[in-house]
């Protein structure tokens, strides 16, 4: 566990360079945009990628890295680029038998041909699940914001939604509403023991189903179809079951943990379900006591028989707020937890991807001795500036939805987000908008970090937009809002 840093060390001051940093960031962002068949479609992952390895894929358009890009473009009114992006992704939705419906992790145009990576070209040959789950979310947000309902109800979009739903809404050996995935199937795309039902994937599934249902509702207004009605009923049921499942098995507070610690084990039968996953009290790590404090709460990283993953994952928790999976009081419990653990989660470069990192034998066993995921580095407890806007957006959206709730807490949260913004503004230009940062405080530029990483740049621009330009625009992120 890292030592505690005094609050003074973390405090940052506003900078008079705000305007010039913004101009530079905007210029850099423009350079990340690339064309396919002559039309702008999205951003490469990083502006600078090593020439020595021509196979390096940071020059490709990654779906996940383009999430903040697309939102930023929407807010700038450049909706046609978003539509182009969505259309190219749809074109690349897999049609081969074993992966039908899957969206690619990334794509690029080479010699006039569109080349997509479904995992066959990446390190470790991993297929991402998150790319497919993000597509309907982006599609719905585009339709909602631009009011382009003809795109939303078009045959190609509706067909894409159905193909994607086929991958989720089908019988499996497990009778649970979660999606089972292998290790490395989302933003964390190197071994980190995140197989099974990792939080980020399950929360994204929730957002995905919500948006698929919004898109289907739209089509239903135009045409009667029994198939659509059935799909809508099933999707709503699934959403309900998934949410209950995650809130029951993943949400922890000091109170719930005390119940967990005293549960019976080795329970058989249908009527005994105090401890369905047969979790032994010894697996509850002691660091949770201070971490949760009195009134904090969060969603744990994963639930597997006998082996819950208690690590804290920033993205899954922030998305659970944005997508409305957590109730408003739960969101505030999460904010309290973030404030209480600010020295760990934000430190010098907001914000840490997961906590705590795996060390020694655990690191060696679970990552396959991966030097990139060394303790406090990269996915294993590293700091990613691109993650800050998700939490910032969650705080601002919460305030917009619940204007009079816990003013003191929300005031503290907003002050924290503001300071984190300054902290990025003061450091990122000097550190060439690096991809990630290492060490317990996140002070060092990631040992293998790319520079001029797109989601670092655009994440900063997006947070700036929500804090300074038009705070009411945070409602773009509201999945509950109808057209
Ligand atoms: C790395 C990251 C992944 C990201 C990609 C492109 O592989 O682990 O999350 O999408 O780089 O930036």
Q: What is the pLDDT of residues 146-162, one digit of tens each?
A: 999 999 999 999 999 99
pLDDT in the model for residue 6: 47
Q: Which residue's CA lies nearest to atom 2 of ligand 1?
A: 187
Q: Residue 4: which pLDDT band, with cuts at 50, 70 and 90?
A: very low
Please give the CATH number for the structural domain made up of 33-250: 1.50.10.10
Atom of ligand 1 nearest to the CA of 58: 6
pLDDT the model gives residue 52: 43
Beta pairing, strands 39-43 & 106-110: unpaired
CA Rg value for the chain: 22
Distance 253 CA to ligand 1 centre (A): 31
Taking CA atoms only, the protein residue closest to ligand 1 atom 7 is 189
Q: Give pLDDT, residue 12.
A: 62
Domain spans of the chain, in order of start: 33-250, 251-262+280-302+308-474
Judged against a pLDDT cut of 90, whether residue 119 lies above it is answered with no
- Residue 313's H or E segment, with its range, is strand 312-313
Q: Is the pLDDT of residue 8 over 50?
A: no
| pLDDT bucket at 9, cuts 50 / 70 / 90 | very low
Listed residue (142, 124, 6) closest to 83, CA to CA: 142
Query: Three-state DSSP class for 480?
Result: coil
The residue to mutate among 42, 43, 45, 108, having the most atoms of ligand 1 within 8 angstroms of its beta carbon, is 45
Query: Does the structure show a pLDDT above 70 at 89?
Result: yes
For residues 437 and 443, the answer to whether their CB atoms sit within 8 Å is yes
Question: What is the residue with the minimal CA distance to atom 9 of ligand 1?
Answer: 187
How many degrees, rounded to 5, is the angle at CA 313 between CA 311 and CA 314?
145
Whether the model pTM is above 0.85? yes
Q: How far does the centroid of ligand 1 lie from the alpha carbon of residue 294, in Å?
A: 36
Mean local confidence (pLDDT), 53-61: 74
Report the nearest atom of ligand 1 relative to the CA of 190: 8
Give the residue-averaged pLDDT of 171-183: 93
Counting residues of the chain whose pLDDT is more than 70, the rounded percentage is 95
Q: What percent of the chain has pLDDT over 90?
A: 88
Mutate to test the pocket of ligand 1, among 103, 131, 187, 200 (most ligand atoms within 8 A of CB): 187
Taking 70 as the threshold, does the pLDDT of residue 283 lie above it? yes
320-346 pLDDT tens trace: 999 999 999 999 999 999 999 999 999
Residue nearest to atom 4 of ligand 1 (CA): 187
Mutate to test the pocket of ligand 1, among 48, 56, 64 (most ligand atoms within 8 A of CB): 64
Residues having CB within 6 Å of any atom of ligand 1: 45, 62, 64-65, 187, 189
pLDDT of 10 strictly over 70: no
- Contact of 339 with 412, CB cutoff 8 Å: yes
**CB neighbours of residue 380 within 10 Å:** 25
| Atom from ligand 1 closest to the CA of residue 454 | 12
Cα dist from 423 to 17, 173, 320, 373, 472, whole Å? 12, 48, 25, 25, 23
The closest-lying atom of ligand 1 relative to the alpha carbon of residue 57 is 6
At 186, list the tokens: 């989302």
């Amino acid at each position: 566990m890292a030592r505690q840093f005094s609050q003074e060390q973390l405090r940052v001051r506003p900078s008079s360079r705000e305007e010039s940093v913004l101009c530079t960031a905007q210029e850099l962002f423009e350079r990340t945009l690339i064309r396919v068949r002559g039309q702008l479609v999205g951003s490469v992952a990083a502006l600078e990628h090593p020439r020595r390895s021509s196979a390096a894929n940071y020059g490709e358009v990654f779906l996940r890295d383009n999430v903040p890009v697309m939102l930023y473009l929407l807010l700038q009114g450049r909706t046609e680029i978003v539509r182009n992006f969505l259309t190219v992704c749809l074109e690349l939705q897999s049609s081969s038998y074993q992966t039908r419906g899957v969206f690619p992790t990334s794509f690029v145009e080479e010699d006039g041909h569109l080349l997509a990576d479904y995992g066959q070209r990446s390190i470790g040959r991993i297929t991402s699940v998150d790319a497919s789950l993000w597509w309907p979310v982006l599609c719905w947000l585009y339709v909602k914001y631009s009011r382009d309902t003809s795109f939303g109800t078009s045959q190609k979009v509706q067909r894409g939604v159905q193909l994607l739903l086929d991958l989720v809404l089908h019988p499996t050996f497990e009778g649970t509403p979660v999606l089972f995935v292998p290790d490395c199937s989302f933003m964390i795309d190197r071994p980190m023991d995140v197989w099974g039902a990792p939080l980020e994937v399950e929360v994204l599934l929730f957002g995905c189903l919500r948006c698929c249902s919004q898109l289907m509702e739209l089509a239903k207004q135009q045409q009667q179809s029994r198939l659509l009605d059935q799909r809508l009923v099933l999707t709503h049921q699934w959403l309900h079951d998934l949410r209950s499942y995650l809130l029951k098995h993943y949400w922890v507070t000091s109170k719930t943990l005390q119940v967990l610690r005293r549960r019976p084990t080795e329970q058989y039968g249908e009527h005994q379900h105090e401890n369905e996953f047969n979790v032994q009290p010894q697996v509850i790590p002691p660091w949770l006591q201070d971490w949760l404090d009195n009134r904090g709460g969060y969603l744990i990283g994963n639930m597997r028989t006998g082996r819950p993953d208690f690590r804290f994952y920033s993205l899954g928790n922030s998305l659970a707020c944005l997508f409305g999976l957590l109730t408003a009081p739960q969101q505030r419990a999460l904010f309290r937890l973030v404030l209480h653990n600010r020295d760990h989660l934000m430190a010098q470069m907001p914000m840490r991807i997961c906590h705590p990192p795996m060390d020694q034998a655990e690191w060696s066993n679970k990552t396959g001795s991966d030097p990139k995921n060394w303790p406090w580095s990269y996915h294993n407890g590293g700091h990613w500036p691109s993650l800050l806007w998700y939490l910032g957006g969650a705080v601002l959206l919460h305030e917009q939805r619940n204007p009079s709730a816990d003013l003191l807490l929300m005031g503290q949260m907003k002050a924290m987000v503001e300071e984190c913004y300054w902290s990025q503004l003061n450091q990122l230009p000097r550190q060439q908008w690096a991809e990630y940062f290492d060490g317990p405080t996140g002070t060092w530029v990631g040992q293998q970090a790319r520079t001029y990483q797109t989601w670092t740049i655009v994440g900063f621009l997006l947070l700036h937009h929500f804090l300074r330009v038009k705070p009411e625009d945070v409602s773009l992120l509201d999945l509950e809002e109808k057209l």
